[in-house]
Amino acid sequence: MAHSYNFTIILIVSLLSISFTLTSVKADLTDEICSKTVIKDVCYYALREDPRSKGANPEGLMAIVVDLSQKNATFTCNLVSTLLKETTDPKLKTRYTLCLGNFNNASNILKNFPNLLKSKDYYGLSANATAAIREPSTCDNNFLEPPVEVPELRNASDNLRGLIDVILVLVGFL
C-alpha cells in the first residue's frame, strides 16, 4: 500500500513537471519567434491571445498567423473602400485608390499561403510574404505629405505588416 501511495505521488510530481516544462517550451518558442519580429506587440498578440495557439507547433502557429493575416487584409480592404467612399478630397481619393490596390494585392498574395503551407513550400511562403509585406508600406508611403493617413488605416497597415513579418520569421522554424 505504501508503495502504491509513493508511486502515485511520484507519478503526479512527474506529470506536473512535464506540464510545466511544456508550458515553458511554448512560452520560449513564442518569445524566440517574437523577439525576431519588428512589431513585437502584433506577434505576441497573434501567438498568445489566439486560443488555437495553445500547444501548437511552428506549423500550427504558421496556419494561425496566415489565417489572421488574411482576415486583416480583408478588413483593411473594406476599411479603405469605406474611406474612399466617404472622402471628398481629391488627394485622399487618389491615395485611397492606390492603397486599395496595395491591400488587394496583399490579399491576393495571402490567398496562396494555405496551399503553400500545406505543400510545405517554405521558399514559396517566404518569397510571397516578402512581396506581400511591401504592400502596406507602399500604401503608408502615400501619406508622407499632408493630408495625413487616418489612424485606423495606419493601425490596420501596421498590423498586417506585423503579421506578415511573423510569417517571415516562422518560416525559419519550419
For the ranges 17-26, 118-127, 151-160, the lowest mean pLDDT is seen at: 17-26
From the number of C-beta atoms within 10 Å of its C-beta (0-12, 13-18, 19+), residue 86 rates as exposed
**Number of residues that make up the chain:** 174
Q: Which helix (H) or strand (E) holds 49?
A: none
Domain 2-171 in this protein, CATH class: mainly alpha
Check if the beta carbon of residue 165 is closer than 8 Å to that of residue 68: no
State the pLDDT at residue 13: 40
The predicted-structure confidence for 7-24, as pLDDT tens digits, reads as follows: 444 434 444 443 433 344
- As a whole number of angstroms, the distance between CA 166 and CA 33 comes to 7
State the pLDDT at residue 26: 52
Q: What is the mean pLDDT of the chain?
A: 87
The predicted-structure confidence for 154-163, as pLDDT tens digits, reads as follows: 999 999 999 9
The predicted-structure confidence for 49-88, as pLDDT tens digits, reads as follows: 888 888 889 999 999 999 999 999 999 999 999 999 999 9
49-79 core/surface letters (b: 16 or more CB in 10 A; e: else): eeeebeebeeeebbbbbbbbbbebbeebbeb
Q: For the chain, what are the domain ranges?
A: 2-171
Contacts for 116 with CB less than 8 Å, ≥ 6 apart? 122, 124, 125, 128
